[in-house]
C-alpha cells in the first residue's frame, strides 16, 4: 500500500509507444517499462499528458493499463495509472478498471472540457474515491488545461473530505507563490514537482517528481532523489541548475515548434537510447523529428555529456 511515508521519489512518467499506423506497440512499450524497472526507478506512471490519455479509446486504455501493471508487478515496482476523463462516470470507469487490475494508485485531473464549479470539485473526488476504496488518489494539477486553478484552500478541502487524496502532481500558482504554497500543501499532501524545482521546493516539503528526465539518465535522477531525501541542498542546487538549463535552453527550440509534453518526453527518452518508443504522437498533435533528436543529442553531448549514459547507447543504439 502506498502511503505518505513511501509514495515519494522520482517516478517515471512514460509515453505510450505507437506503431506507424498509430496502433498500440505493446512489445516496445513493455520493453520501455522493463528498462525503467531494471534501472530501479522507484515507481512507474502512465495515463497523464505524456501518456496521451486524451488520445485513447477506453479499449486502448485497458490494453495499456494491462501492460503497464503486468510489467510493474512482475518487477515489484509500484504503479500509478492516470484515469482522467471529461466526466465523473468516465473517470470512475477507468479507475475501477485500473484498481481491479492491481494499480497501486490512480491519478486524476478535474474534467477539463467545461470549468468545474468550486462546489462540485470535492464531490467529484469523493465520488471517484468511494468506488475504489482506500487506493491513493493523486490530483494532477494541470493548470489551464483543467480550465480551473485548484487553490491551496480547495486542495486542502479535498483532503479533509477525501483522505485517500494525499498526493499532488504540480503546483499551479505564480512563481513567486510556489514556495509558500508548497509549504502549506505539504502538511497534507505528498507534493511532486518538476525536476528542476526539486531543490527549491524540496526545502518547502516537496518529496518527488513524475519525471521524464529520469530516462535521460536514471542514475543521475536517482542521485538527485538521494540528495533530496538527505536534504543536501547545496549539491542538489547544482544538479537542478543543470536540469533547468536542459529544459529552458536545450529544449527551447522544440517548444518554439509547439512540441510539448509527450513529444518532448519521447525525444528525451530517445536521446540517450534509454527508451525504444517512436517519436510519434497521435495525430493531430505535433511531434519531434529525427533532426530534432539529432540536434538535441548533439547539444547534450556538448553541454552535459554526463547525462548521456554510454552503456545504454552501446546496447540500444538504433539510429
For 181, the grid coordinates are: 504554497
**pTM of the full predicted structure?**
0.94
> Is residue 282 in a domain?
no
Instruction: Compute the Cα dihedral for 208, 97, 260, 35 and give only its sign.
Output: positive
Q: Given a cut of 90, is residue 313 above it in pLDDT?
A: no
- Other beta carbons within 10 angstroms of residue 241's beta carbon come to 12
Q: What is the pLDDT of residues 61-93, one digit of tens each?
A: 999 999 999 999 999 999 999 999 999 999 999
Question: What are the φ and ψ backbone dihedral angles of 237, each rounded to 5 degrees?
Answer: -55, -45
Bigger pLDDT: 73 vs 317: 73
Average pLDDT taken over every residue of the chain: 94
Beta bridge partners of 79: 44
For residue 179, the enclosing domain spans 9-229
pLDDT for residue 315: 47
Burial of 291 (0-12, 13-18, 19+ CB in 10 A): exposed
Q: Given a cut of 50, is residue 139 above it in pLDDT?
A: yes
- Name the E strands within the chain: 9-13, 43-46, 79-82, 105-108, 137-140, 165-169, 190-192, 208-211
For 20, the grid coordinates are: 506507424
Q: Given a cut of 60, is residue 145 above it in pLDDT?
A: yes
Burial of 58 (0-12, 13-18, 19+ CB in 10 A): exposed
> Is residue 309 in a domain?
no
Cα distance between residue 72 and residue 45, in whole Å: 10
> Is residue 158 in a domain?
yes
Residue 167 near residue 137, CB atoms below 8 Å: yes
Q: Cα-Cα-Cα-Cα dihedral of 106, 109, 110, 111, to 10°?
A: -90
Cα distance between residue 50 and residue 82, in whole Å: 10
Q: What is the pLDDT of residues 214-240, one digit of tens each?
A: 999 999 999 999 999 999 999 999 999
- Report, as an integer, the average pLDDT of 96-115: 96
Cα distance between residue 293 and residue 279, in whole Å: 9
pLDDT for residue 319: 60
Residue 237 near residue 243, CB atoms below 8 Å: no
> Is residue 276 in a domain?
no
Domain count, the chain: 1
- Other beta carbons within 10 angstroms of residue 264's beta carbon come to 21
**What is the CATH classification number for the domain harbouring 82?**
3.20.20.70
Q: What is the pLDDT of residues 94-104, one digit of tens each?
A: 999 999 999 99
> Is residue 234 in a domain?
no
227: CB partners within 8 A, 6+ apart: 233, 235, 236, 239
Q: What is the pLDDT of residues 166-188, one digit of tens each?
A: 999 999 888 899 999 999 999 99
For 256, the grid coordinates are: 518554439
Cα distance between residue 278 and residue 4, in whole Å: 35
Instruction: Compute the Cα dihedral for 180, 185, 190, 193 and give only its sign.
Output: negative
> Is residue 2 in a domain?
no
Angle among Cα 73, 78, 83 to the nearest 5 degrees reads 100
Cα distance between residue 106 and residue 103, in whole Å: 7
Confidence of residue 146 (pLDDT cuts 50, 70, 90): confident
> Is residue 207 in a domain?
yes
Q: Given a cut of 80, is residue 246 above it in pLDDT?
A: yes
pLDDT for residue 108: 97
% residues pLDDT > 70 (the chain): 97
Cα distance between residue 227 and residue 172, in whole Å: 25
Residue 166 near residue 136, CB atoms below 8 Å: yes
> Is residue 188 in a domain?
yes
For 166, the grid coordinates are: 494525499
- Report, as an integer, the average pLDDT of 36-45: 96
Amino acid at each position: 500500500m502506498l502511503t505518505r511515508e513511501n509514495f515519494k521519489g522520482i517516478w517515471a512518467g512514460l509515453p505510450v509507444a505507437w506503431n506507424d499506423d498509430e496502433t498500440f506497440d505493446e512489445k516496445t512499450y513493455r520493453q520501455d517499462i522493463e528498462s525503467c524497472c531494471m534501472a530501479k526507478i522507484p515507481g512507474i506512471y502512465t495515463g497523464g499528458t505524456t501518456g496521451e490519455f486524451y488520445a485513447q479509446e477506453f479499449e486502448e486504455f485497458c490494453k495499456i493499463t494491462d501492460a503497464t501493471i503486468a510489467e510493474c508487478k512482475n518487477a515489484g515496482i509500484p504503479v500509478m495509472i492516470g484515469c482522467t476523463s471529461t466526466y465523473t462516470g468516465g473517470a470512475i470507469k477507468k479507475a475501477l478498471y485500473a484498481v481491479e487490475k492491481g494499480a497501486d494508485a490512480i491519478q486524476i485531473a478535474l474534467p477539463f472540457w467545461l470549468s468545474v464549479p468550486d462546489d462540485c470539485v470535492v464531490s467529484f473526488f469523493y465520488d471517484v474515491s468511494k468506488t475504489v476504496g482506500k487506493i491513493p488518489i493523486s490530483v494532477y494539477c494541470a493548470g489551464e488545461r483543467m480550465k480551473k486553478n485548484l487553490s491551496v484552500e480547495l486542495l486542502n478541502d479535498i483532503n479533509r473530505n477525501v483522505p485517500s487524496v494525499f498526493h499532488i502532481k504540480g503546483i499551479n500558482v505564480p512563481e513567486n507563490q510556489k514556495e509558500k504554497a508548497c509549504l502549506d500543501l505539504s502538511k497534507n499532501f505528498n507534493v511532486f514537482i518538476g525536476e528542476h524545482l526539486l531543490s527549491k521546493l524540496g526545502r518547502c516539503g516537496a518529496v518527488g517528481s513524475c519525471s521524464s528526465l529520469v530516462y535521460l539518465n536514471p542514475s543521475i535522477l536517482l542521485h538527485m532523489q538521494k540528495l533530496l531525501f538527505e536534504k543536501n541542498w547545496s549539491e542538489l542546487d547544482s544538479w537542478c541548475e543543470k536540469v533547468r538549463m536542459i529544459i529552458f535552453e536545450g529544449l527551447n527550440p522544440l517548444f518554439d515548434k509547439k512540441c510539448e509534453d509527450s513529444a518532448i518526453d519521447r525525444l528525451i527518452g530517445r536521446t540517450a537510447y534509454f527508451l525504444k518508443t517512436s517519436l510519434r504522437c497521435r495525430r493531430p498533435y505535433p511531434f519531434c523529428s529525427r533532426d530534432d533528436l539529432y540536434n538535441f543529442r548533439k547539444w547534450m553531448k556538448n553541454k552535459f555529456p554526463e547525462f548521456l549514459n554510454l552503456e545504454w547507447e552501446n546496447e540500444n543504439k538504433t539510429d
